[in-house]
Structure 1
């Protein structure tokens, strides 16, 4: 997986981002990545991208990041004669700015020792590179993406439509619906590339039911 990630990062500076539209012929997931065989006009070939929910028959759009010959996937124990590393342009993993009527700065879960999600977004320059604590409800969990588990938390507050805060961790994540204390380091304007941009994200996160 490290080899794949390195290849993707190197490809950013080496290849133009040509966009393709193709039909899914085969698909399999391994090591946090999706390996997809596509029909692109008169050509059939394999692509690799960070794990996505796709199925045979879907039409997907993706941008070209770089080709590799004789690429061996250790997690699949399979060698691809030729494979395209790609970025998904259908559904980039980024914070969704929801349209809401007004800001709500205070969280219904907030305590003296915690910050609300709205407060963190509003004052993200102030909180950047500091440890923060949020109490809220887990709304989504995506596991084993780029070697991390991605946990979305909401607490009833919002700032300029932003009410969903992402925490990344290498620990076992909590379950959707859990009310947790989430602690970690706030990072401002984090760009992972390939559509992974966050105005605020909490890294090195830990979760507990008690503060």
Structure 2
């Protein structure tokens, strides 16, 4: 059995090197990887892949991946000393991807699937954006609109409020928090995008109700500075 496993591993490595050497999409800016190991948790899929002869770890929202499968990626956010509580494992370096797709869809950037999508093959999946969306949604009982929050920010400072909106961008595990760009279709003097920090795992296009504490003039360093931010937010029904 040990010999069979060893032969399989050698065969997989040789196959990976052969496939990587024949890359028809190299000019597109995509990088070809071959899956060597797959770890599944509730919301994420961790992939140990071979890229140009070197192994690296990738993280994407939950997907069905094939051992030995060929995928095309664009590098995402590099995280060092990242610890997965679900796996009880620390990764020296791991990349949270913006794009991953299989060979059938690696034709052009327009054909790439968003990792925020549930299925990689969903061409209709919403893409992350910071542009203002044309959203129309009912307010939550006892909640606050984003436009009203920006207009009356001093009134809500330090208070816990509810806001119903849509996730337009999701950035996981930065400074031990998930960062969510959130809109509800309202604005005040051009301010329409609310930053939310949370431990919840979401994807672009999710419409949820957040409850969290409003803070003003927060500067976390590294370019993370916000006049209005909702912190310690949880998703409520």
Q: What TM-score does the superposition give when structure 1 sets the normalisation length?
A: 0.49
Larger radius of gyration: 2
Q: What TM-score does the superposition give when structure 2 sets the normalisation length?
A: 0.44
Looking at secondary structure, tell me which structure has more helix per residue: 2
